[in-house]
A and B are shown apart, each in its own frame.
Chain A
Amino acid sequence: MKEFAELNFDKEVSYTKTHEWAKKTGNIVRIGVDDYAQSALGDIVYVELPSVGGAVNAGAAFGSLESTKAVSDLNSPVSGVVVKVNDALSDNPELINSSPYGDGWIIDVEVKGDSDFDALLKSDAYAEYVKTLEPIEAN
């Protein structure tokens, strides 16, 4: 587990309190998990991905991440329809550890409107929030 000072909070994306990030381009929102989540979970060994075409709801689980010692639900920051999943994660789940904001993205969701997205935390506010959390023990 990284110390707080070592964590990277990408300025280009917005965050949920359950440690997912979202980045909007047009009406497509790309979703992943942040540096804090990947660091807390440790080595990711499996990503349970949704199917393309399925609906996701803001705040509801759409998949899960497994390390050798823990399972963590993936909660969608926005509501919409899954238009793409990152298939590379099936064979290389470690991409989430090595590049949480880049190659380790998880799904693309098509959304209507901005309301969900605008409610998310910006990086500074999110960093303040993470600072208040007790460190999670990574084993």
Chain B
Amino acid sequence: MRYLSNTQEDLREMKEAVGIKDVCELFASIPQNTRRAKEIAIEPRSEWALMREFSELSDANKPGVAFIGAGSYSHHVPAHIPYLYSRSEFQTSYTPYQPEVSQGTLQAIFEFQTMTANLLGMDVANASMYDGASALAESALMAIRVKKKPKVALSRLNHPHYVQVVDTYFKPSGFETVELGVLPDGRTDYSKVPDDVSAVIVQSPNFLGVIEDLGAAAKAAHDKGALLVVSFTEAMAWGLLKNPGSQGADIVCGEGKSFGLSQNMGGPGVGIFTCKMDFVRTTPGRLVGQTTDKNGNRSFVLTLAAREQHIRREKAVSNICTNSGHCALAAAMYMATAGKTGLRGMAQLNHDHAAYLKAGLEKAGFRPLFNGPFFNEFAMTAPAGFDYKHEKIAQKGFIAGLDLGRYLTEHKGVFLFCATEVHTKDVIDAFLKEVA
């Protein structure tokens, strides 16, 4: 086996050094009643056979051109980014527990923390969470730690899967969620925030693509003594939109996969978590801090570890250990690559393409569900018979929006569309021809 390096001669010498005749002697502490009866019934493949098998699996997928976002957005990944993050030194290292041999990871994560905090207008960002959904669940738990009221108010227009993850994390503790309804323009209705919640949680742009009024959300939350938690699924939006920190958000969390990562059937992503400095000691996840070494050189270390599971054990703020470090690295590379002007340009083009697609769909008989402002996603009521056409269009290689009836029962026959910088005019025109 090519991943095992010991020769028969090596094995013989090692057994002699250990004082055994057969390796199975090292397994003597395993009682008979827990042993396998048979060998593992998986036939080893050669590299050739393996790649044939995987190519067949890959070919059995039909990615096509998807005009859907809903938490996973198609964006261009600049060529140098996978090239750089695939460097072995980044990819095959562990969590940076030994700072002298992991300054590369540590500085890169410090830069990631800095850029995400600046992008979102927040004081502090952590080194990442698993994905946007778990970042939201951890944010909700943190708000309850801070405000000590076992209930949060969630907009109905948070991503339904994210809400389900919050429910999963809440269930055993008995924490409650209450739902905030939707206004006619597709924004969240903040008029009915209960008095006894730790947080108001709103996604912007929301699940149906509408840009929320975060100033109003902040006022509604703070009037009730609650924190404002802003979630997002499309990080690209912050290249264009006013950041949540400047509008009063206390915690901002979301999915950073749009920055330098492929779709990969939805994972891995990179959960972004940021908050105000006041809450730093109850922040989940790892934090990298700057310090100096014994010779006065600038250096970086994991810090505030006393919050974490390996020290505080059952009183830890979270159980998270391994996070999404390598994806955070990719996201940092993307932010550094796009930079101030590039991210603005890219975000504007996302909006332009989406507006062009929306106008084309309107011509084809679709009606916008809302007239609230959108970024690169919007919901449209389909003309009669579109359900049937959806299948036919799929055979031409286009995924024509997401059927919202699967998620929000009140929106049967409504489809959620998305266009990004990769959906060029030619592609959109070809798609619209099929829809018409």
Are any A and B Cβ atoms less than 8 Å apart in their complex? yes
Query: A interface vs B, CB < 8 Å?
Result: 45-46, 48, 66-71
Task: Return chain A residues, CB-CB under 8 Å to B315.
Answer: 71
Q: Does B311 sit within 8 A of A, measured CB to CB? A: yes
Q: Does B14 sit within 8 A of A, measured CB to CB? A: no
User: A44–B306 Cα gap in the complex (Å)?
Assistant: 11
Q: Does B119 sit within 8 A of A, measured CB to CB? A: no
User: A68–B305 Cα gap in the complex (Å)?
Assistant: 7
The smallest beta-carbon distance between A5 and chain B, in angstroms, is 29
User: A67–B315 Cα gap in the complex (Å)?
Assistant: 16
User: A97–B406 Cα gap in the complex (Å)?
Assistant: 61
Among residues of A, the one whose C-beta sits closest to the C-beta of B306 is: A66
Task: Return chain B residues, CB-CB under 8 Å to A67.
Answer: 306
Interface size grouping (class) on chain B? under 10
Among residues of B, the one whose C-beta sits closest to the C-beta of A70 is: B311
Query: B interface vs A, CB < 8 Å?
Result: 281, 303, 305-306, 311-312, 315
Task: Return chain B residues, CB-CB under 8 Å to A45.
Answer: 306
Task: Return chain A residues, CB-CB under 8 Å to B306.
Answer: 45-46, 66-71
Task: Return chain A residues, CB-CB under 8 Å to B312.
Answer: 71
User: A66–B312 Cα gap in the complex (Å)?
Assistant: 10
The smallest beta-carbon distance between B309 and chain A, in angstroms, is 12
The smallest beta-carbon distance between B99 and chain A, in angstroms, is 12
The smallest beta-carbon distance between B124 and chain A, in angstroms, is 15
Task: Return chain A residues, CB-CB under 8 Å to B305.
Answer: 68-69
The smallest beta-carbon distance between A21 and chain B, in angstroms, is 23
User: A70–B307 Cα gap in the complex (Å)?
Assistant: 10
User: A117–B114 Cα gap in the complex (Å)?
Assistant: 50
Among residues of A, the one whose C-beta sits closest to the C-beta of B312 is: A71
Q: Can you list 18 A-B pairs with a CB-CB distance of less than 8 A? A: A45-B306, A46-B281, A46-B306, A48-B281, A66-B306, A67-B306, A68-B303, A68-B305, A68-B306, A69-B305, A69-B306, A69-B311, A70-B306, A70-B311, A71-B306, A71-B311, A71-B312, A71-B315
User: A48–B315 Cα gap in the complex (Å)?
Assistant: 14
The smallest beta-carbon distance between A73 and chain B, in angstroms, is 9
User: A66–B306 Cα gap in the complex (Å)?
Assistant: 6
With most chain B CB atoms within 10 A of its CB, the pick from A66, A67, A70 is: A66
Task: Return chain B residues, CB-CB under 8 Å to A69.
Answer: 305-306, 311
User: A68–B306 Cα gap in the complex (Å)?
Assistant: 6
User: A67–B311 Cα gap in the complex (Å)?
Assistant: 10
